[in-house]
C-alpha cells in the first residue's frame, strides 16, 4: 500500500498467483476487456515467444475519486512455470492481497498443491503472515467436462471454510469479476483495519 497524500491516491497491489496455465493472464485479459477504458491502463505482458508469461502481467484500475481519495489497484500475475520461482517471489513483494487461481483439470492437482505451498512459503519469507494475508481462491476452468469436484479441489489445496472461493471460467468471463470484487473487498477491509489501528496507537 502506498498513500500519496499530495495527489490523494491510495495505491494497492493485488497479485494473481497459481500454477502454470491455470488462467492468471486470462483473468487480467478479461478484466482489461470488460472495464471502461477511461478507468484502466494498458495490459502489459512480459511474454516469451510462445506467449507464456516470463515475468509478470500488469494492469492498473483507477476508479476515480471516492470520498476524496483515488483508489488505484495494481493487478499483477506471476509466471506459473516452475523455473520462474524467483520471479514469483519478486512479484509477490509488496502485495496487499492475493488471488490464487487453481486449475480444475484433474491432472493439475499436484501442480495446484505445489503452487499453494510455494506461495505460502514465499509470503512467509517476505515477512507476511500467510494466515492473515487477504486471499481469495478461484477454481478456474469449471467449463471443462472433466473438472474436478469442488470438495476435491478444496481438499487438495487444504482450504477450510474460512477461505473465500469462487468458481470461474475465465476464458468465458465467468467468475472473473466476482473474484476481483471479493479480493478488493478483503484488501480494503485489511487496509481500513491497519489504518484505524495505526491512528488509535497514536492516540
Partner 1 sequence: MPSLPREINFSIQHLERIVAHLKQMRLETNAYCVLLADQNGQLIESVAGENAPNTDEISVLAAGELAATREIARLLGEARFQFLLHEGERKNIYLSDVSGEMMLITVFNRKAPIGLVRLWTRNISKQLDHIILEARTEEQDNQALDDTFSQLVLDRLDRSFWQ
Chain residues binding partner 1 by CB under 8 A are: 1-7, 11, 13, 31, 34-36, 39, 41-42, 44, 46, 55-56, 58, 60-61, 63-64, 66-67, 69, 71, 74, 86, 90, 93-94, 126-129, 132-133, 177, 180-181, 184-185, 188-189, 191-192, 194-196, 198-199, 202
- Shortest Cβ distance from residue 4 to partner 1 (Å)? 6
**Which CB, 67 or 162, lies closer to partner 1?**
67
Strands, E, within 121-175: which ranges?
A: 135-140, 164-167
Cell numbers representing residue 4 in the block: 500519496
Q: What is the DSSP string of 75-112?
A: EEE---SGGGHHHHHHHHTT-SEEEEEEE-SGGGHHHH
- Shortest Cβ distance from residue 19 to partner 1 (Å)? 21
**Which CB, 112 or 169, lies closer to partner 1?**
169
**Is 37:66 a contact under the CB 8 Å cutoff?**
no
**Which CB, 144 or 189, lies closer to partner 1?**
189
Angle between helices 24-34 and 176-201 (to 10 degrees): 90
Length of the chain measured in residues: 203
**Which CB, 87 or 156, lies closer to partner 1?**
87
∠ CA 90-91-92, rounded to 5°:
90
**Is 156:139 a contact under the CB 8 Å cutoff?**
no
- Shortest Cβ distance from residue 132 to partner 1 (Å)? 7
The residues that bridge with 100 in the sheet, in sequence order, are: 17, 137
- Shortest Cβ distance from residue 191 to partner 1 (Å)? 7
Place of cell 476524496: 68
d(CA 179, CA 99): 8
**Which CB, 74 or 112, lies closer to partner 1?**
74
Q: Which residue stretches of 99-149 are H helix?
A: 109-125
**Which CB, 18 or 71, lies closer to partner 1?**
71
- Shortest Cβ distance from residue 185 to partner 1 (Å)? 6
**Is 40:72 a contact under the CB 8 Å cutoff?**
no
Amino acid at each position: 500500500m502506498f498513500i500519496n497524500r499530495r495527489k490523494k491516491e491510495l495505491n494497492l497491489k493485488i497479485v494473481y498467483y497459481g500454477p502454470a496455465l491455470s488462467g492468471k493472464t486470462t483473468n487480467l485479459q478479461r478484466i482489461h476487456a470488460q472495464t471502461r477504458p477511461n478507468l484502466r491502463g494498458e495490459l502489459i505482458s512480459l511474454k516469451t515467444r510462445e506467449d507464456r508469461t516470463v515475468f509478470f502481467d500488469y494492469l492498473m484500475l483507477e476508479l476515480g475519486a471516492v470520498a476524496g481519495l483515488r483508489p488505484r489497484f495494481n493487478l499483477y500475475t506471476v509466471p506459473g512455470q516452475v523455473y520462474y520461482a524467483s520471479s514469483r517471489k519478486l512479484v509477490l513483494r509488496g502485495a496487499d492481497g492475493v488471488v490464487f487461481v487453481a486449475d480444475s483439470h484433474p491432472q493439475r492437482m499436484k501442480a495446484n498443491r505445489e503452487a499453494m505451498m510455494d506461495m505460502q512459503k514465499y509470503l512467509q519469507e517476505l515477512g507476511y503472515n500467510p494466515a492473515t494475508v487477504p486471499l481469495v481462491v478461484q477454481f478456474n476452468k469449471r467449463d471443462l467436462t472433466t473438472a474436478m469436484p469442488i470438495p476435491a479441489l478444496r481438499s487438495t489445496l487444504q482450504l477450510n471454510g474460512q477461505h473465500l472461493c469462487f468458481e470461474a471460467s475465465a476464458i468465458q468471463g465467468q467468475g472473473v469479476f466476482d473474484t476481483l470484487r471479493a479480493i478488493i473487498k478483503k484488501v480494503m477491509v485489511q487496509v481500513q483495519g491497519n489504518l484505524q489501528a495505526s491512528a488509535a496507537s497514536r492516540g
